[in-house]
Amino acid sequence: MWHAFLSHLLTSPNYSVEAVDAEVAEAAGELQQATRLTLPDALIVATGTVRKATAVVTQDRQLGRLQAVLPTCGPAEVE
C-alpha cells in the first residue's frame, strides 16, 4: 500500500519530495530545540520552511500547532 502512496507523492504536481541538506539539518536542530518537536517532525517543518513551501501536507496534529511557522493541511485539501 505504501508503494502506491509513494508513487503518488513522486508523480503528483501537488507534492514535492525534498532532500535533507546541511541547511535543512541546521534549521531542524534549531527548531527542535525551540519547540521540543521530534527530530523527524522538525526535519519536515524545517524542509518546508527552508524550501519556502506553501504548506506541509500531514495528518499529524503535532505539526498543526506550528501554523505560525509553516501552515499545514490534510491530504484531502490538496488532491
- Quote the number of domains for the chain: 1
| Residue 59: predicted pLDDT | 82
Predicted model pTM: 0.79
According to the 3-state scheme, what is the secondary structure of the chain?
A: CHHHHHHHHHHCCCCCCCCCCHHHHHHHHHHHHHHCCCHHHHHHHHHHHHCCCCCEECCCHHHHCCCCCCCEECHHHCC
Instruction: Tell me which of 13 and 64 has the higher pLDDT.
Output: 13
Name the band, by pLDDT with cuts 50, 70 and 90, for residue 79. Answer: low
| The three cell numbers locating residue 64 | 498543526
**pLDDT tens digits, 61-75:** 888 778 888 888 887
* Average pLDDT of every residue of the chain: 87
What is the residue range of 43's domain? 2-77
